[in-house]
Structures are given as C-alpha cells and as structure tokens.
Structure 1
Amino acid sequence: MSTNAASAASTTREWQLAARPVGWPKNEDFQLVERELPDLGPGEVRVRNTYISVDPYMRGRMNDVKSYTPPFQLNKAMEGGAVGTVVDSRSDDLAVGDTVLHFGGWRTLAQGPASDFHKVSKVPGVPESVFLHVLGMTGLTAYVGLLDIAEFREGDTVFVSGAAGAVGSIVGQIARLKGAKRVIGSAGSKEKVDLLTGKYGFDAAFNYKDGNVSKQLAQAAPEGIDVYFDNVGGEHLEAALNAFNEGGRAALCGMISMYNATEPESAPRNLFLAVGKRLTLRGYIVGDHYHRFDAFAAEVGEWLAKGDLLYDETVVEGIDQARDAFLDMLRGANVGKMLVRVG
C-alpha cells in the first residue's frame, strides 16, 4: 500500500450532462464544473487522467431510455474510457505511478476502488493513448466484430462503413492481414478515402457524399460482398443488403447515421433480401466479449509491434475542449480515434 496525498490534488474538473439533447446536442446541454473529492477510503485509489476517449455510443447514453448501458445522469460526471496515472493509493494492488485503464473519463481526476482500474504495461515507443483504441476496447470491438460476429473467412470480400474511424480502420486492416480477397471502405471525404487506400491498404474506397451509396458499392465490389461491418446503418446498410452474396454475414456495431435523428430512418427498405440471400445480421456489444481480450491483445499487439497494423489519432488538447471534441467526432471531423489529452 502506498500513499502520496501531499502531491495528489483533490479538485477535479468534470463534464456533466446539464440537459438531455433533442436531435444534435447543443453546447448548453453540457457543463464543466469543479468538485472536491473526498479523502480516499481503504482499498481506493486516485488517478490523474492523461487521455480520455469520446465515442459515438456516448450519444445514446444521453437519452433517458432503456438500453444495454444505463443513461448518463443529469448533473453528474459523465463516464467513458480513460488512461491515467495513480497519484494516491490506499490499495495493496495499485501503487503511485502505475498506469491504469478505466472508465472514469470526462474528468481530470478519477477516484474509486482499485478494482475499477486495470493496470497496463507501457509499450516501448508507443504512446499510452493506444490503450484507448488499438490495444483497448476500440481494437477489441473491431477484432471480435469481424472474426467472431461476422465469422470472417479467408477469401471473403469485406465492406466497412465509416472505415476511416477508429474501429473501421482497424477492421479493414485485420481483414487484410487475415487474407481477405478484397477490402472496401466508405468515408466522408476525399482525404479519408485516400487514407484508406493508401496508408491502411484498402483495395477500394469511396466518398459516400459523392452519390448513391448502393451504386458506389456496386462499382467497388462488382462480384458482391461476403461480410459487412456496419458503423453507419441507414443507406449504408441498404447498400450492403443489395451487394451481399448468398450467405453473407453482417456485424452490426453501430449506426451513427441515426444517433441524432428525430425521425425514423427511411432505409433500409430492402430487408426482405435477407431471406432469399440467407443472410446473417447480428448485433453485438463489446462488453459481452471481454473473455476474448487476451487473445486479441496478443495477436494485435504483435501486429502493432511489427508495424503491420497502423493507426491514426485526432488529439484535442485540454479538458475544456472535451465537449467540442465529442461533437466534432459525431460530425466526422476526426481521423482514427478521437481523444482528449487532459493536460
């Protein structure tokens, strides 16, 4: 057990949900407040966050509806992935100076039972921010979704929507490393399309803003697709249904096109194709698959160390900018993982 109370400040700055958004969140739906933390209890630690993650799923937690994860509470600190350093400890399991991964994001200081914090070992030459994407839940989401949920097979043609994002870019690279026949991605700008076919090794990519998604996918995959990894939903899911070969499989990871909608999406209008094509469309939540973490970390960690798997980060500086970083991420302003360096 170790303590460092003299150097561990007790004032945290944290973002709270001030009002539940209707449609696109507004600035006034959030508030940044200061709060004094209580003294540590037995078995507790205090952590100074280094990086926090802002992610699409957080938009759903702003709605007061029943879901797979509880909604954010009004006027309480929001939650999310974070990595930081233990600055005070009353636990035998974690010492001052340990690097930990946890879900007390959206704040400068996090505090609680040591069991809420997972100690990680830094990777030489790699920033600790990777534990919030490639070597964290983002990477596991991609790995499990492609290999377990969509049951990827060598020789498959794979389509990834939102492919320049944190999850999509990893999905495409894993498919390539595992022997895909063809990997196709969609993105929202020419720059992101070039990134997919250049840095990330996608065989083809298109800008969904340039025209009908179904037509663009048909041109990119003239022989059809076998696997669809869905981050977008809506028109993209409709396009995948059109393009699927018989026996195709879809991993339904997210549907960001619907997160801020106030009216139901008009697409997909062709779900009937799932019957004749004998398709499997399977949604999943990464939290149900933590048992796969060790296998994922070993394989992806090796690819990362060899330089076979690449990544991008969009890093915004300062806890004050966390709200804007989140809103920019929803608009697609990031390349790769959107992070906030707490500072």
Structure 2
Amino acid sequence: MAAVLPSTTREILLAAAPGGLPVPEHFTVTQRPVPVPGPGQVVVRNRYFLVFPGLRTLIGAQADGVPLPRIHAGDTLFGPAVGEVVATAPGGPLRPGDVVTHLLGWRELALVAASDCTPLGDFLPDPVAHLSSGSAAYGALTRIAQVRSGDTVFVTGAAGAVGTLAGPVARLLGATRVIGSTRSPDKAERLRAELGYDAVLVPGPRAIDEQLAAAAPDGIDVLLDTVGGEQLTSAVRAARRGARFALVGALSGQLSPQRDGGSAPAEIDTFRLVNQGISLHGYSGQDHPDVTREWTERFGGWLRSGEITFPHVRIPGMDQAPRALQELFEGRHFGTVVVELPPR
C-alpha cells in the first residue's frame, strides 16, 4: 500500500572531496524522483537525522576498518534518522504510520529495507532521543570501564554528544567524582551547572596535566575518551593502579584539518600502563549487541524520572544541514546535533 507522495525528494550529496575539513561548499542539495518500494522495502519520510563527526572519516581518504561504506563525490550522505513509514510493498512487516529508526538520513524520503528499520516503542518520551549517542557512553562505562561506587571518572570531549550523557550516566552508575574536558569555557560552565560535572578542564595556556592533577589529586579510576591525543596521554599519567580506560572516539585526529579523518596518533607511556595495571580498550557497539536495548530501557526510565536529560540542538531544515556539520566540527554546539525536517 502506498500513500500519496510528492514526485520528487531532496537529498544532500557530497559535491566534491575536501582536502581538509569539509565546509558547506563541498555539499549540494539535489532533487531525485521519489523511490517506489519493492518487495521487502519501505519508504520513510524522515523527521530528524543526526549530524555526527564520523562523517569526517567516511568522507576522508582513510576509512579502513570502519563498518560503514565510504562516501565519494556524488554520493548521498547517510546516518541515523527517525522517520515515519509512508509507503510499503504488499506483505511487509511495517505499515504506513509506523515510526522507525534507520541509517538513511540526509534525505527527505528514504527507500529502506524493512529489515534495516527498527520500530520505535514507547521506551523514550521523545522520538528524537533515539538519535542520542548514549548507547556508546553507557556501553563503554558498563562493559569496558565497569564503573563502580567511589570511582573518579574522567570524560574527554564532555560537551559532545557522547560526553553530555557519559558524565551523568557515570554518576548514576556510582561514580563519586566526574571530571570532563571541553574546548570552551562557556561549555565548561554548562557542564558544571547543568550536568553536574565536578570539574572541567579547558585546553589552553594551562597544561592539561596540571589541570587534571588539580581536579583529581588522587588520580583517576576510569577514562571515557572521545578525543585521544594529548588528553589520552595526560590521562595515562593520572591513572591510579587498576584504572580502566574505554576509548569511544578520537576527535583530536578526526577533526584535525591536517589529517584525513582516519587516524589519531597519541603518545602513551606503556611503562606506566604495565606498572599501574591499566587496561585500555576500544569500545564498538557492534561487539555488544545487547547494549542498545538495555540502554534504551534505562535511558527512558532516567528521562521520565528526571535523573538525566538529553542535551541536544535541533537545526531546522534540510538546507541548514551542511552548515550544521561545519558548526559541529568547529565545536559550536552543546550535546547532540539533529536536523529537524518539517512534517508534510
């Protein structure tokens, strides 16, 4: 069964491969015919899609090992989206009106395999919250770092999509002291005032080592790292014996104009890793398929009880999406960045 649909839909394409960080001029909005669903397919009208730093890697020249396809010039961008099914082929499991998540954002109407859609239940009070990066934060803190009562936790990139949830989640899991880092003094104040961070480091004239030593004089038990680089180096120096490090991102390299988005070197004192018994693991959601449902259930409960919030920014309109991506790279936003498309 098919709804009455427009004859064309708009999509955002990569117009030209950038030499460094992409800017709006590297993208274009184009019109394409509305797709017709075949067997096992549905058409979804997107309402929200995620603006995320991983696009830098997919657009860059080095994306080896990334479990998503590279984006070449002429390709439509993609990423997590929430939308409403508006057309289906006969006999499929979904029906018009179903609200789902899928990975074909950056377009108004998406032709998606029904098996690649996840129907939304009533776990979360707002559908846009399904675009949070909290699953990565929660999975890293519970499966890798195993936060426990009394821990001192350091979250790098605390004002980003992962960090704005990681700090509050660490506290709910029992952490006694939560420290963050961010590039902006204004964001540092928001992290303390709105999200309960005990201390926030701001890279600048004062060395990260010195700031971290002042914020955690007895050292840190857990690192949730989204940045890498010198902040990871400093965290190793500040680690207590038996510290657990969970790496979920590498923004220091990913968002560097001098790099290609697929590497993020860091200098690590391996002697200290051995001597202090520090564990260091990368976290990937695909290795922990049980986390998403567990996180969604707990996130919904925490949101409804007021124990946690979902910091995010909604950017209105498809035309603003390329600019929103540039602003994300420049660190202008607090929390998750989502493009909101008008209902039709």
Please give the TM-score of this superposition, normalised by the length of structure 1: 0.92
CA drift at 1:53: 0.2
The 8 Å contact of residues 316 and 325 in structure 1, kept in 2 or not, is answered as yes
- For 1:276 and 1:123, the matched residues in 2 are separated by 44
Deviations along 1:105-150, one digit per CA (max 9) or x if unpaired, are: 11111112211211103568x33211101xxxx1110110111012
Would you say how many aligned residue pairs link Structure 1 and Structure 2?
335
Task: Please say if 1:11 is aligned against 2:8.
Answer: yes
Give the C-alpha shift of residue 284 in structure 1. Answer: 2.1
**Residue 31 (structure 1) aligns with:** 28
1:176-187 equivalences under 5 Å are 176-187=171-182
Instruction: Check if 1:251 corresponds to 2:246.
Output: yes
Conserved 8 A contact 1:189-1:209: no
SS for the counterpart of 1:209 is coil
Distance in structure 2 (CA, Å) of the matches to 1:278 and 1:8: 60
CA distance 1:38–1:150, shift in 2 (3 Å)? same
Asked if the contact 1:23–1:260 (Cα under 8 Å) also holds between the matched residues in 2, the reply is: no
Query: Partners in 2 of 1:140 and 1:60 — Cα distance?
Result: 20
Give, in angstroms, the shift of residue 39 of structure 1.
Answer: 2.1
Determine the structure 1 residue equivalent to 2:52.
Answer: 55
- Residue 88 in 1 paired to residue 87 in 2? yes
Paired-residue identity, %? 38
1:71-106 deviation per Cα after TM superposition (whole angstroms, max 9, x unaligned): 113312111000011111225311111111010011
Give 3-state SS (helix, strand or coil) of 2:52's partner: coil
In structure 2, distance between residues paired with 1:15 and 1:99: 22
Aligned residue in 2 for 1:239: 234
Q: What is the SS of the residue equivalent to 2:195?
A: coil
Unaligned 5+ segments in structure 1 are none
Q: Does the CA contact (< 8 Å) of 1:253 and 1:284 recur in 2?
A: yes
Q: Deviations over 1:15-46 (max 9, x none)?
A: 11223222222333222211113322123211
Structure 1 vs Structure 2 CA RMSD: 1.9
Q: Secondary structure at the match of 2:9?
A: strand
SS, match of residue 199 in structure 1: helix
Unaligned runs of 5+ in 2: none
Task: Look up the match of 1:101.
Answer: 101
**Match runs of 1:189-208 below 5 Å:** 189-208=184-203
Higher relative contact order (CA 8 A, sep 6+): 2
Matches within 5 A, 1:1-343: 2-4=1-3, 7-65=4-62, 66-69=64-67, 70-90=69-89, 91-122=91-122, 126-133=125-132, 138-209=133-204, 211-261=206-256, 262=258, 267-268=266-267, 270-343=269-342
Task: Report SS of the residue matched to 1:59.
Answer: helix
**2: CA distance between counterparts of 1:40 and 1:269?**
51
Aligned partner of 1:116: which letter? Answer: D
Q: CA deviation at 1:210?
A: 5.2
